[in-house]
Structure 1
């Protein structure tokens, strides 16, 4: 894909309006400066790509992502303003996924630790392998972070248990706790995530984009204000070609053809 042909730690392939982004930074897909810069570039490009409607994010090998590359810490601490620049880049690598206009499905194939756990949680939908797990190990290394993202997905008690103890929460537990939408054997993981992505890709593209925008903007709004905003989105969509095509296809009992406008 144009603009993504020189990646070193990520791989991107696209088919049928679904882009699959694979973190390929052996041995455990640790996140360093280059990794984060590439993540930002990939999601900016895919977010603007008219042919991409859904994104699947997964890891190569046995890990989804084992978190931050701690070998960078010494250099960061030794630079004037190093932590400020580092923290800004870390936030941007997460925000670009949350703010991407296209839905992002995390196919968690293995360990998702620390920053890797957060990277899974900022995705729209989680599908996990049975042997996968999420863990926030910051307390083991004298660090802090991820609390707000963990609170979005876990109950207050479970979030605190996870943060305070660095406990590993397995795939089946994540499914039971309603953190993940599906838990399947590893060999079925990408098929399951892609099947969900393909179903989303067949919906009215502009309506899916509007729905994701609503999730992001209304999360902390009062109910009345959030629903009022959603209604404005429906009114705007009513004037688009794709919404008119969807309604016509329904009346005519045929498969709609969407053009993204």
Structure 2
């Protein structure tokens, strides 16, 4: 399990999640994503960040099995803080972040892409927030950046998913391509951004964040409060134990 970081020509920094079997990130993995984004932004040579994944899918959210192995609330607290830091670091990264989605993007994965600046997805990609099935809440803030308001509610309450093609119709996914062309397409787009004057691009990123109608950091933190309530009530543990008992690997 690892987060892999490399720098391509002309300032394209690549951050790759590689946590088999389904890229359900452990607590440290979320903090590592946050660190990678902050380091990218602090490096004047970085002009754009490409966030991608190896394996079956982009991201399956929090590693629930790890959380249930940890005694007390430290696993929950770590995952919640780690997700918050990762999402915040992506949003506040001084350069554009392109999320490159293959296969599934679930739960915390939607938090990652929802706070990124552009999304390119494979034609088999799908997105969803199955939190209510796990007795938790979260990432509605980020799903709201991808779908219209009533669709958000329908998806959230039902825990159903939406295809990349549908999101492309809404304009929230920039491009949908065959999986074997995904990286090529993403790097071509990244190169277009990297070719711009980095002083202007960094100013543009800050300006666009400044005119956002919703404070995504505060909004997500508000959601997390309800997750803590459900945990203190014992509801979330029931659902997570059920998930672990089924032996599933995907949080859906």
Q: Normalization by structure 1: what TM-score? A: 0.77
Shift in CA distance, 102/95, structure 1 to aligned 2, threshold 3 Å: same
Partners of 2:79 and 2:71 lie apart in 1 by 10
Partners of 1:126 and 1:166 lie apart in 2 by 21
Runs (4+) of structure 1 moved beyond 2 Å?
72-77, 81-89
Aligned to 1:170: 163
Deviation at 1:104, TM superposition (A): 0.4
Shift in CA distance, 27/44, structure 1 to aligned 2, threshold 3 Å: same
Residue 109 (structure 1) aligned with residue 102 (structure 2): yes
RMSD of aligned residue pairs (Cα, Å): 1.7
Aligned to 1:131: 124
Instruction: State how 1:4-19 maps to structure 2 within 5 Å.
Output: 9-16=2-9, 17-19=11-13
Instruction: State how 1:24-63 maps to structure 2 within 5 Å.
Output: 24-63=18-57
Shift in CA distance, 216/75, structure 1 to aligned 2, threshold 3 Å: farther
CA contact (8 A) 2:62 2:79 kept: no
Partners of 2:140 and 2:41 lie apart in 1 by 27
Name which structure has the greater RCO, CA cutoff 8 Å, separation 6+: 2
Stretches of structure 1 lacking an aligned partner (at least 5 in a row): 1-7, 222-261
Deviation at 1:118, TM superposition (A): 1.5
Stretches of structure 2 lacking an aligned partner (at least 5 in a row): 215-252
Q: Normalization by structure 2: what TM-score? A: 0.80
Report the number of matched residues: 213
Aligned to 2:184: 191
CA contact (8 A) 1:9 1:38 kept: no
Partners of 1:84 and 1:184 lie apart in 2 by 37
Partners of 1:29 and 1:154 lie apart in 2 by 24
Deviation at 1:69, TM superposition (A): 0.4
Aligned with 2:58: secondary structure? strand
Aligned to 2:136: 143
Aligned to 2:115: 122
Deviation at 1:74, TM superposition (A): 3.0
CA contact (8 A) 2:110 2:128 kept: yes
Deviation at 1:152, TM superposition (A): 2.1
Deviation at 1:87, TM superposition (A): 2.3
Aligned to 1:67: 61
Shift in CA distance, 83/140, structure 1 to aligned 2, threshold 3 Å: closer
Match of 2:90 among 92, 97, 103: 97
Aligned with 1:61: secondary structure? coil
